[in-house]
Amino acid sequence: MREIEPPFSLEIEGNIVQVTEHELKGKRVFHLNFVGSKKPLIITVALTRSDEKFWTSIPEGRQKEAEQIGKLIAAHIRNKRR
């Protein structure tokens, strides 16, 4: 398993989101803290029944945000490796 990412920030639709990665029971989760009044969000990668990966929120309910921000997090991590 790769090392935990140090905290970083992303810009999403003109807003800054502070991202911290944590490990809980062997799973990687990302805590998103939005600068402003939006509630924090926790997201992780999950698997469908056919073993396809997707981003999801914990608890469920903010799926659209999880998918959008999850892709940006993945891109950020991939770009750091280059």
Residue pair 39/46 in contact (Cβ under 8 Å)? The answer is no
| pLDDT digit string, tens, across residues 33-78 | 998 878 999 999 999 999 999 999 998 899 999 999 999 999 999 9
Q: Which residue has the higher pLDDT, 14 or 18?
A: 18
